[in-house]
Structure 1
Amino acid sequence: MIQRYRRAAELEEQSVSLLGTPNMEARTEHQKVKHYQLLYTLTTSIGIGTIILVLFWILYYQNGFAWQSLPRVQFNWHPLLMIIGMVFFYSQAMLIYRTGRNYQKNTLKLVHMSLNLLAFILAVIALKAVFDSHNLTGTANMYTLHSWIGLTTVIVFALQFLAGFVTFLYPGLSPSIRKALLPTHVAFGSGCFAGAIIASASGFLEKAIFQKIYDQNVTEGIVVNILGLSIAFFGVLVLHLVHNVDYKRVPLADDQIVLERSDN
């Protein structure tokens, strides 16, 4: 009799455990999503704040914007567009699969591609601005470490974009090949983003040194330093969000249907 009651109690515990497991998993996933959203909001706020601070620095300290009629001022398009494109838009493209986790994967692919394409277009305009500025003022090109890192990052980014488009979007390789290449794609993407962060921070430092900002205007020097720190902090947070497995998107049922269709 005692064994019978003990067995009944064990079966009841097992049934409660089985019934509770899905709810527990759902609560755990909800907490992970909540943590991601909080950290993503903080990260995005820092990114937007950095863009606003760059705009303030250019308008208040660097004489605003112009094009080839004022080549020295034309340069100012370079830092603004690079921060918007290669730092902010690029970060949003990297995070879109986790930010838009409730959307079908094909939709997220299109958004990912569009954000990357926009980042590349802005980077090309930014490079045009800096080369025009240097050429029209007689300044040498591509002799600093910042310029080497920056141009290398843009070139690798362009190759990464082209490879990703062919592999994952159109014409799209087989699912097995896509799965095998995905870690490499993510690694190169993170590397390009890190390069963009390094190039951006070193670019502001280079500008401050060349213009002797630290000697002539202490307040502007503080603004430049804050910009460098905010860019670095933003980059660390983005890479944390990208590589933390707790924030990984859970595949939807629709994703599997699309995958099966692509196999046929």
Structure 2
Amino acid sequence: MEGARAFVGLLAWALLGGFLAVGLTLAWALQYREGLGWDGGPAEFNWHPLLIVIGLVFLQGSAIIVYRLPWTWKCSKLLMKLIHAGLHTVAMILALISLVAVFDFHNSKNIPNMYSLHSWIGLTAVILYVSQLLIGLFVFLLPFAPPSLRALLMPFHIYSGLLIFGTVIATALMGLTEKLIFSLKNPAYSTSPPEGILANVLGILILVFGALIFWIVTRPQWQRPKEPSSKLLHSSGSTPEGAECSMVTDCSNTDKTDVEFNSEAATRKRNLNLDEAGQRSTM
């Protein structure tokens, strides 16, 4: 891999930032926000930021770069697809649980739902995330979609994945600010109390984690190498992604060579028959 040291360094910083973000979110809930529970109170609401940071931030970011890990390049593409889809599935489940927690809290406290920009963009991101996951499972993981459809949808799959991840980062930062403004009254958020500083640091860690993931995944020199031509065909006889063009080219060249060879053989046979006929007539 070109720039392997830079990759390992950025990956280490990204993972460190992600772990710290999860740890600070948990510390925020336990130290300042009445802990965790499932009783319709503030402790139930605290599952919302914690599960979002674990799932849609950390696990989603990890799933995005899983193909870039050089020590997995010798693993089969199918195994990496399963890991990629598994991380996204766990993140989706955690996101759905977090939505149940926040809606249940709002309903128990008679707080209106879906009125803020944070809630609008957040729910949109979750819906898009679920749709992205389902399309990925049926098109890229299960062996039913034709290679042409996979090739057509792959650029959109990559772009929409990064778009959703960036939207989640922005929504998480909006949610942090919204929660601090509503909750910190005495002392006020504007006086920079310890809780406010902790939450601000958490927001910076989330932003840095997202920025590092974006940088890693957009470097062309860190892409997973394509499968060699000797491994293009699966045991089932299907053609893997990205191999359609080369396979079509090889087949067309083979067909062309066979046709030329058969035509030349037929011509020689015809000439031989004519020569034999001419010899008989002269006798």
The two structures have a TM-score, normalised by structure 2, of: 0.78
Question: How much has 1:216 moved relative to structure 2?
Answer: 6.9
* 1:55 corresponds to which of 18, 23, 26: 26
Report the equivalent of 2:41.
Answer: 71
More deviation in 74-83 or 98-107? 98-107
* 2:196 corresponds to which of 221, 225, 229: 221
The structure with more helix, counted as a fraction of residues: 1
Q: Is 2:111 the partner of 1:136?
A: no
Report the equivalent of 2:216.
Answer: 241
Question: Contact 1:84/1:119 (CA < 8 Å) preserved in 2?
Answer: yes
Change in Cα spacing, 1:231 to 1:132, as seen in structure 2 (3 Å) is same
Moved over 4 A (4+): none
Rounded Cα–Cα distance in structure 1 between residues aligned with 2:79 and 2:47: 32
Q: Residue 169 of structure 2: SS of its match in structure 1?
A: helix
The two structures have a TM-score, normalised by structure 1, of: 0.84
Question: How much has 1:176 moved relative to structure 2?
Answer: 2.8
Cα deviation, 1:190-210, whole Å, max 9, x if unaligned, reads 011011101111111000001
Report the equivalent of 1:164.
Answer: 136
- The correspondence of residues 82-231 of structure 1 with structure 2, limited to 5 A, is 82-99=52-69, 100-212=72-184, 213-215=188-190, 218-231=193-206
Question: Contact 1:64/1:73 (CA < 8 Å) preserved in 2?
Answer: yes
Report the equivalent of 1:23.
Answer: none
Question: Contact 2:233/2:239 (CA < 8 Å) preserved in 1?
Answer: no
Q: Residue 139 of structure 1: SS of its match in structure 2?
A: coil
Report the equivalent of 2:266.
Answer: none
Report the equivalent of 2:239.
Answer: 263
Change in Cα spacing, 1:186 to 1:259, as seen in structure 2 (3 Å) is farther
- Which amino acid in structure 2 is aligned with residue 256 of structure 1? L
Question: Contact 1:104/1:252 (CA < 8 Å) preserved in 2?
Answer: no
- Which amino acid in structure 1 is aligned with residue 8 of structure 2? Q
**Between Structure 1 and Structure 2, how many residues are aligned?**
234
- Which amino acid in structure 1 is aligned with residue 67 of structure 2? Y
Question: Contact 1:46/1:230 (CA < 8 Å) preserved in 2?
Answer: yes
Q: Residue 34 of structure 2: SS of its match in structure 1?
A: coil
- Which amino acid in structure 2 is aligned with residue 133 of structure 1? F
Question: Contact 1:85/1:122 (CA < 8 Å) preserved in 2?
Answer: yes
Question: Contact 1:208/1:221 (CA < 8 Å) preserved in 2?
Answer: yes
Question: How much has 1:168 moved relative to structure 2?
Answer: 0.3
Rounded Cα–Cα distance in structure 2 between residues aligned with 1:39 and 1:96: 14
Cα deviation, 1:66-106, whole Å, max 9, x if unaligned, reads 102x4222100000000000001111111111123332111
Rounded Cα–Cα distance in structure 2 between residues aligned with 1:92 and 1:255: 27
Q: What runs of 5+ residues in structure 1 fail to find an aligned partner?
A: 1-28
Question: How much has 1:263 moved relative to structure 2?
Answer: 3.1
Q: Residue 114 of structure 1: SS of its match in structure 2?
A: helix
Rounded Cα–Cα distance in structure 1 between residues aligned with 2:233 and 2:207: 40
Question: Contact 1:104/1:255 (CA < 8 Å) preserved in 2?
Answer: no
Q: What runs of 5+ residues in structure 2 fail to find an aligned partner?
A: 241-283
Report the equivalent of 1:13.
Answer: none
Rounded Cα–Cα distance in structure 1 between residues aligned with 2:147 and 2:159: 19
Q: Residue 263 of structure 1: SS of its match in structure 2?
A: coil
Question: How much has 1:170 moved relative to structure 2?
Answer: 1.4
Larger radius of gyration: 2
